[in-house]
Amino acid sequence: MHTKRLPITVGIGGATDQTSLLHWVAQEAARLAAPVRLARAVVVPAVYSDLPLPKEVVDDLIQEGERAVQAAADELAQISADLEIDTLVQSAHPAALLIELSAESRLIAIGAGGRARGPFTDSVAVALAARAQCPVAVVRSNDQTAISAEGTVVLGMDGSTSAQDTIEAAFTEASLRGAQLVAVHAWNDAEVSWDVVERFYPGSESLADVAERALAEMLAGWREKFPEVEVRRVVAHDKPKHQLLELAKTAQLVVVGSRGRGGFTGLLLGSTSQALIHHSPCPVLIVRPREER
């Protein structure tokens, strides 16, 4: 029996330069031995009438989408001639299309930033990361790290019980890339001075020690499963997004969960993940817990 190979599904938008995204996808597909599916959502504009748009107008929009996907496929084939590439053009809302396709994808890759004129924008990346049924990679335009693939893999730890899926994804990526894994636990993401707290509760274990121990416990077992991965632990008295954005400057990938420990029911994407989508200088992989998919 042959196991179906799930593809890396790539959202093709209207940005004039998707080179960084396509380079990242080509390298990731080679690492995972996965096929690539290029998907384009065609948004049919609403009209203030009960009459549908003329068929020729809709056909023109579909053809424009097909040209964009074919151009991306040609560029991807030039980057790596060995890739298995499929294409899809469908009339749909961009986020809705990719969320639907995520159910049968190894991961979703989407561009962000730049001067996109098409359907895929930062807001779509946020919606997708919050609801996709598989991990979501966000690659910002003009991101040279997506091309060079040098540096560390940074893992943002939130201390939640659902973090194991994120940890597994980070170790897997570090192993595939032969990169050092930097596991980060920022133990104060509230506007509170813990120096004052410790002054009123002397003699107890320091909060930094508690955070260090918690990080070690969260990583327990994974280092044995991935003995080839060098791990560096970072515990910081800082907001998570500050630490992760700083470490992202020398990273080739940042891996985080979709929610932080301050998340509320109904808050589908944590503030740290959103900050990384908008500002990370390297690609970001956002992993939703399996129980929420």
Domain match, 211 and 89 both:
no
Domain that holds residue 76: 8-140
What pLDDT score does 117 carry?
A: 45
| Joined tokens for residue 230 | 């060098």
We report the CATH number of the domain holding residue 78 as: 3.40.50.12370
- In our burial notation (b when 16+ CB lie closer than 10 A, e otherwise), range 265-279 reads eeebbbbbbbbbbee
CB contact at 8 A, 113 and 123: no
Those residues of the chain that have pLDDT short of 70 are 1-3, 14-16, 46-52, 114-121, 159-162, 187-207, 259-269, 292-293
- The pTM of this model reads 0.87
Rounded distance, CA 23 to CA 29, Å?
10
Q: 124 and 197: one domain?
A: no
Q: Last residue of some domain: 72, 107, 140?
A: 140
Same domain membership, residue 199 and residue 130: no
Domain total in the chain: 2
- Segment 11-21, tens digit of pLDDT: 998 665 788 99
CB within 8 Å of 224: residues ≥ 6 apart:
none
Domain membership flag for residue 49: yes
In this structure, the answer to whether residues 189 and 109 fall within a common structural domain is: no
pLDDT value for 265? 36
Tell me which of 88, 107, 140 is where a domain ends.
Answer: 140
Q: Tokens 């990526």 appear where?
A: 173
If asked whether residues 103 and 197 sit together in one domain, one would say no
- Pair 115, 174 in one domain: no
- Pairing of β 284-287 and β 85-91: unpaired
**DSSP designation for 250:** G
Beginning with the edge strand found earlier in the chain, give each strand of the sheet holding 107-112 in spatial order: 85-91, 36-42, 8-11, 107-112, 136-140, 284-287, 251-257, 152-156, 181-186, 231-236
Q: Do residue 178 and residue 279 come from a single domain?
A: yes
Q: Are residues 263 and 178 in the same domain?
A: yes
Q: Are residues 118 and 239 in the same domain?
A: no
Q: What are the backbone dihedrals phi and psi of residue 215, each rounded to the nearest 5 degrees, phi first? A: -65, -45
Note whether residue 260 is domain-resident.
yes
Is the domain of 113 the same as that of 239?
no
